[in-house]
Amino acid sequence: LVRAVAGWARKAGARELRLSVMPGNERAAALYRRHGFEDLGPVGDELPDGRREHVMVKPLA
């Protein structure tokens, strides 16, 4: 599914994919890392408990 979305986005002219992962969701972060995403750290939206989502990015070039 990740490869299919990347292919669709590439054909649509996107240069990268970005997504947010909840803090502590290591299984999801590991899956995205295996598919070429880099974790930019806790720079996403602030959650009610003060933590921030982790933004991950994958270049499509």
pLDDT tens figures, 2-43: 999 999 999 999 999 999 999 999 999 999 999 999 999 888
User: Which residues neighbour 42 within 8 Å (Cβ) at sequence distance 6 or greater?
Assistant: 23, 51, 52, 53, 54
| Residue 61: pLDDT over 90 | no
User: Any idea how long the chain is?
Assistant: 61
pLDDT reported for residue 43: 87
- Count of the separate structural domains present in the chain: 1
Q: Sheet of 16-21: strands edge to edge?
A: 16-21, 54-59, 38-41
pLDDT reported for residue 42: 85
